[in-house]
Copies of this chain bind each other. A is one copy, B any other.
Amino acid sequence: MSVRVGILGATGAVGQRFIQLLDDHETFEIAALTASESSAGETYRDAAKWRVNTPIPDAVAEMTVGATTPEAVPDDVDLLFSSLPSSVAAAVEPDFLEAGYVVSSNSSNDRMAPDVPLTIPEINADHLELIEVQRENRGWDGALIKNPNCSTITMVPTLAALDQFGLERVSVSTLQAVSGAGYSGVTSMEIIDNAIPHIGGEEEKMESESRKLLGDFDGAEVTLHGADVTASCNRIPTLDGHLENVFADLTEDPDAEDIAAAMRDYPGVDLPSAPEQLIHVFEDPMRPQPRLDRERGDGMAICAGGIQATDEGVKYNCLAHNTIRGAAGASVLNGELLVEDGWI
């Protein structure tokens, strides 16, 4: 079975990752690429300033880029991946949904909307049923599904594993890679021999999205998880891979080995892009490290380490590849789930 897919915003940093991940994908076949008006009509090779460290797939290089409008996308495309800037996405995603497209979107708009599923297949695949609510509310033939922010997705699988011990409160500090801000988001003068202790909007995303992902869905709405989440987000001079220090309060009193086992045993899913082991737990406290561990599971695994029980619960570190598991790979995995569950 083959599903024809399009990529909205195909020339940007995340767009290029989509193309890299979809090359030779067992189910998805790239059938449409869109970008801004000014690039429409060019070949992808000309429109994109390709910066990924594998060459552009030949077939994609010669495709013609269209504008980001429903008219520019062939009718036989079944699924759209979106990596548009959130302000652009907020303006154009509704057009595609009205036109009946299913959109798996990495853009941050509407993630917290009550009728938009925000999903990580391994964590809350059941939230996908919100599509029914969404269609009823909005009158769309299509469907909009979101994946969370890169810093959120790094932490949430580990929190899901901890939830059996009574997750009450989370303080988290992030060390985020520059690629999370897009290709030109962080200048070299800003970050060489430096760190920046704030990323606009990032803390709020972690604090709200994680509670929705861990929340209960009763068929009509998602109740946010009750844990209090507080985040401090930092940019550091790494290229890819977000590292996070988590301090979690638990009502129960597990020891470090109980927690490690809960993480290691947290079940994965059987989808083409999913890693065999969702959470890889290191015993060496010096790990995980961004450069050494971000490629684990082809960039789709979550790494954890430094687990220590504390008076109130636990502290540990986690890491994921921010432009694969944290962006393009997350949308692709959601797309695979949509196919698996029969929405496409």
Contacts and interface: CB of A to CB of B under 8 A. Distances in A.
A175 B195 contact: yes
A234 B291 CA distance: 14
Contact of A290 (B194, B198, B232, B291): B194
Given A188-B187, A232-B245, A197 B305 contact: yes
Interface in A165-187: 169, 171, 173, 175, 178-179, 183-187
Contacts of A197: 243, 245, 285-289, 305-306, 317
Nearest to A293: B53
Given A53-B295, A191-B188, A192-B193, A173 B237 contact: no
A232 B317 contact: yes
Given A187-B183, A194-B290, A292-B51, A245 B234 contact: yes
Contact of A189 (B175, B179, B236): B179
Interface of A: 13, 51, 53-54, 169, 171, 173, 175, 178-179, 183-198, 228, 230, 232, 234, 236-239, 243, 245, 247, 285-293, 295, 305-306, 310-312, 315, 317
Given A187-B186, A189-B239, A290 B230 contact: no
B194 A289 contact: yes
A286 B196 contact: yes
B239 A236 contact: no
Contacts of A178: 188-189, 192
A175 B295 contact: no
A183 B292 CA distance: 14
A238 B290 contact: no
A232 B286 contact: no
A311 B270 CA distance: 40
Contacts of A51: 189, 292
B188 A289 contact: no
Contacts of A196: 286, 289
Given A183-B189, A192-B193, 16 more contacts: A175-B175, A186-B187, A186-B188, A187-B188, A188-B188, A189-B239, A192-B192, A192-B238, A193-B290, A195-B236, A197-B243, A197-B287, A197-B306, A230-B315, A234-B245, A237-B237
A186 to B, nearest CB: 5
A246 to B, nearest CB: 8
B238 A194 contact: yes
B247 A311 contact: no
B232 A315 contact: yes
A198 B193 CA distance: 19
